[in-house]
Amino acid sequence: MRPFPTSRASLLSVLFVLVLLSGCVEQPVEPTDDAEEEPELIIDPDRPTESYGAVVTGPAVGPDLNATTEAAPRLVTGEWWRIRFDYQLDGAPVEVVRVVADVNDEGYVFGMPHEGWFKEAIAFHSPAFGDVGHDLSYDTHNVKFEPVRFPLKVGATWETAFATTELVATVESADEHTAVIVFEPPEKDAEPTDPVMEALGLAGGASMKLTYDARVHEVVRMESFIGTWEVVEHGYDFEGWVTVPRGEHTAIDYGVLGPVSDKHTPEERTLTVEGGFNRMTLMHGVFAITPGSYSVRSVTPNGTEFKTELVGAEPFKLRFYEASDPDGTWTVQDVNIGAGVTYSMGIAYHQYDIRLPDGVRRADHSHAVIR
Residue 311 pLDDT more than 60? yes
Q: 149 in helix, strand or coil?
A: coil
Give Cα 189 to chain centroid, integer Å: 29
Apex 54 CA angle, 133 and 32, nearest 5:
115
Per-residue pLDDT at 157: 98
Residue 63 scores a pLDDT above 50? no
End-to-end CA distance of the chain: 28
Mean pLDDT of the chain: 81
Q: Are 206 and 167 in contact (CB under 8 A)?
A: yes
Local confidence band at 47 (pLDDT 50, 70, 90 cut-offs) = very low
- Decide which of 201 and 136 is more confident: 136
**Could you tell me which of 329, 371, 365, 304 has the C-alpha nearest to residue 45?**
365
**How much is the average pLDDT of 353-362?**
94
Question: Pick the residue with more confidence: 291 or 49?
Answer: 291
Domains and CATH numbers, the chain: 2-31+77-243 (no CATH), 245-362 (2.60.120.1540)
Specify which of 48-62, 179-193, 229-243 reaches the highest per-range mean pLDDT: 229-243
pLDDT of residue 122: 92
Backbone angles phi and psi of 148, in degrees to 5: -140, 155
Closest CA to 131 of 371, 332, 351, 308: 351
* Closest of 78, 76, 114, 75 to residue 358, by C-alpha: 78
Section 93-100 average pLDDT: 92
Residue 118 has a CB neighbour count (10 Å cut-off) of: 25
The SS3 assignment for 170 reads strand
Mean pLDDT of 75-93: 82
pLDDT digits (tens, 9 = 90+) for 319-333: 999 999 999 999 999
Please check the confidence at residue 48 and state whether its pLDDT lies above 70: no
Q: Is the pLDDT of residue 61 over 50?
A: no
| Predicted local distance difference test score (pLDDT) of residue 183 | 96
Q: Is the pLDDT of residue 143 over 80?
A: yes
pLDDT in tens, 246-294: 999 999 998 888 765 666 778 889 999 999 999 999 999 998 988 889 9
pLDDT higher than 70, residue 366: no
Identify the residue with better confidence: 21 or 127: 127
The model's pTM is: 0.80
Task: Give the CA distances from residue 360 to residues 108, 157, 290, 355, 356, in Å, rounded to whole numbers and listed in that order.
Answer: 16, 41, 53, 5, 7
If phi > 0 it is left, if psi is from -120 to 50 it is alpha, else beta; for residue 356 that is beta
Query: DSSP readout, 242-268?
Result: EEEEEEEEEEEEEEEEE-S------EE
Write down the pLDDT at residue 188.
Answer: 72
For residue 35, how far is the Cα from the chain centroid? 28
Judge contact between 127 and 219, C-beta under 8 A: yes
Amino acid 73: pLDDT: 95
pLDDT at residue 233 above 70? Answer: yes
Asked if the model's pLDDT at residue 151 lies above 80, the reply is yes
Give strand pairing partners of 179: 174, 212
- Does residue 165 or residue 46 have the better pLDDT? 165
pLDDT-based confidence at residue 215 (cuts at 50, 70, 90): very high
Kindly tell me the sign of the dihedral angle through the C-alpha atoms of 291, 321, 204, 165: negative
The reported pLDDT for the residue numbered 26 is 39
Compute CA distances 169 → 103, 121, 180, 214, 217, whole Å.
27, 23, 10, 18, 19
- Interatomic CA distance for residues 76 and 98, integer angstroms: 13
Show the CA angle centred on residue 151, arms to residues 145 and 154, nearest 5°: 95
